[in-house]
């Protein structure tokens, strides 16, 4: 599953249940082709992929960023919706695609808003002057943005734009009648060992190498990694397997590479004891995997900069928060989870992390009351 795509689906579903008429615009391969229950769905064209890190890939990324957003402008002009709600706000290369959206917003009065999952962006495209211009232009059509936690640096969002707090809802896990004991036996988990699950997109910023290194100092810990690598620039599964072999902990690691189908999702959480969310200090957002772990009622080991993720885990005692980018911190966190008997406030968090509340806040910001 893809975190941002799953969020868009659940949010749109909640808005639809709240009475909003949804026109869902996506690529045909959205969530691996999952059907949507909304009254209307339209396609924006395929997302072209190229498995390389050279100039051809950069040109294709430029094509994807620009053309898809230009096609979106056509859909907006065609339907003239009450709100254009961008599920994944991206400011990159805005000078190449923003103009029709600015025209629709400033001349025709179309209202724009965006989910701002990552308010602090450390990644820039092109020269500094170009990136700053891109960011400035991309925010121009927006009336408000939704956030999951108070902004650590309010200057990241222009003062004229309203910020609306919305909770990140819990994701559903399809019941599959999974037997935890059978799953753990299949993985080779020995009696007395505890399974730490790293789930979702695999990228360097999740510090999986630290989790593998921590196994050498936490002999009762067993690691399962399931998901897909984000980019050729990130460490690949072969790199993590090689590291586990080098450290002599390969027997306590299982790697499952590839997209995890919805029907198989529950298997990994049924077999796990804890979930790893050991993000680097560059992480300032919320984690969709946290809201799978909460649904499965599995405590997490979390790290990152001040963010919705870190504050949520602390506020509701959903696990342990440790310093980011630190092997000692990961080792200490693992050992603490292995021995402590905490009482996470699952019910309280489930009441807080509601898609219905998310949708209500969005509609309130638009000026509707459903």
Alpha carbons 111 and 134: distance in angstroms, whole number: 20
What residues are paired with 230 via a beta bridge? none
Residues 42 and 157 grouped into a single domain? yes
Query: Which tokens hold the place of 301?
Result: 């080991």
Residues 283 and 148 grouped into a single domain? no
What pLDDT is stored for residue 369 in this prediction? 43
Residues 188 and 257 grouped into a single domain? yes
DSSP 187: H
Residues 232 and 137 grouped into a single domain? no
Query: Which tokens hold the place of 195?
Result: 């399974």
Report how many domains make up the chain: 2
Residue 348: C-alpha distances to residues 69, 149, 345, 353 (Å): 39, 17, 5, 9
**One pLDDT digit (tens) per residue for the chain, 370 residues:** 457 888 899 999 999 999 999 998 887 777 777 777 776 777 776 555 545 555 566 666 676 777 888 889 999 999 999 999 998 787 878 898 999 999 999 999 999 999 988 766 666 777 889 888 998 999 999 999 998 887 666 667 888 999 999 999 998 887 778 999 999 999 999 999 999 999 998 999 999 999 999 999 999 999 999 999 878 889 999 999 999 999 999 999 999 998 888 788 899 999 999 999 999 998 888 888 999 999 999 999 999 988 889 999 999 999 999 999 999 999 999 999 999 878 899 999 999 999 999 999 999 999 854 3
- Cβ pair 14, 356 in contact under 8 A: yes
What pLDDT is stored for residue 68 in this prediction? 83
What residues are paired with 144 via a beta bridge? 113, 162
Within a domain: residue 196?
yes
Provide the phi-psi class of 275: left if phi over 0, else alpha when psi is between -120 and 50, else beta: beta
Please name the residue that has the structure tokens 């990140």.
Answer: 168
Strand ranges for 32-171 from DSSP E: 40-43, 84-86, 112-115, 142-147, 162-165
Alpha carbons 24 and 75: distance in angstroms, whole number: 10
What pLDDT is stored for residue 53 in this prediction? 54
- Cβ pair 285, 149 in contact under 8 A: no
Residues 129 and 197 grouped into a single domain? no
Within a domain: residue 228?
yes
Within a domain: residue 72?
yes
What pLDDT is stored for residue 1 in this prediction? 42
Residues 188 and 291 grouped into a single domain? yes
Residues 138 and 213 grouped into a single domain? no
Within a domain: residue 204?
yes
What residues make up the domain containing 359?
3-169+354-366
Residues 67 and 148 grouped into a single domain? yes
Within a domain: residue 295?
yes
Residues 231 and 329 grouped into a single domain? yes
Look up the CATH number of the domain holding residue 335: 3.40.50.2000
Residues 235 and 112 grouped into a single domain? no
- Cβ pair 212, 237 in contact under 8 A: no
- Cβ pair 320, 336 in contact under 8 A: yes
Residues 255 and 155 grouped into a single domain? no
């Amino acid at each position: 599953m893809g975190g941002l795509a799953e969020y868009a689906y659940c949010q749109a579903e909640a808005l639809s249940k709240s009475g909003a008429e949804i026109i869902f615009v996506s690529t045909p391969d959205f969530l691996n082709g999952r059907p949507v229950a909304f009254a209307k769905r339209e396609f924006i064209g395929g997302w072209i992929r190229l498995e390389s890190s050279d100039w051809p890939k950069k040109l294709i990324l430029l094509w994807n960023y620009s053309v898809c957003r230009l096609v979106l402008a056509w859909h907006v002009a065609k339907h003239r919706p009450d709100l254009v709600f961008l599920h994944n706000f991206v400011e990159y290369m805005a000078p190449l695609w923003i103009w029709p959206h600015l025209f629709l917003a400033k001349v025709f009065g179309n209202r724009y808003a965006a989910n701002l999952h990552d308010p602090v962006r450390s990644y820039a495209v092109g020269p500094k002057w170009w990136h700053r211009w891109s960011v400035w232009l991309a925010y121009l059509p927006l009336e408000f943005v939704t956030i999951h936690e108070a902004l650590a640096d309010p200057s990241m969002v222009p003062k004229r734009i309203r910020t609306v707090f919305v909770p990140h809802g819990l994701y559903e896990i399809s019941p599959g009648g999974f037997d935890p004991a059978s799953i753990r036996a299949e993985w080779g988990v020995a009696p007395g060992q505890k399974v730490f699950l790293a789930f979702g997109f695999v990228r360097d910023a999740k510090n999986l190498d630290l989790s593998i290194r921590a196994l050498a100092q936490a002999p009762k810990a067993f690691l399962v990694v399931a998901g897909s690598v984000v980019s050729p620039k990130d460490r690949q599964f072969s790199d993590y397997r090689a590291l586990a072999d080098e450290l002599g902990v390969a027997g306590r690691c299982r790697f499952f590479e590839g997209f995890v189908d919805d029907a198989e999702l529950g298997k990994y959480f049924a077999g796990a004891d804890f979930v790893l969310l050991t993000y680097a200090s560059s992480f300032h957002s919320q984690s969709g995997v946290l809201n799978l772990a909460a649904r499965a009622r599995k405590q997490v080991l979390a790290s990152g900069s001040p963010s919705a993720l870190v504050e949520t885990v602390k506020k509701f005692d959903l696990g342990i928060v440790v310093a980011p980018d630190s092997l000692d911190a990961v080792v200490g966190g693992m050992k603490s989870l292995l021995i402590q008997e905490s009482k996470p406030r699952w019910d309280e968090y489930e009441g807080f992390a509601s898609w219905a509340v998310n949708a209500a806040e969005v509609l309130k910001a638009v000026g509707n009351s459903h």
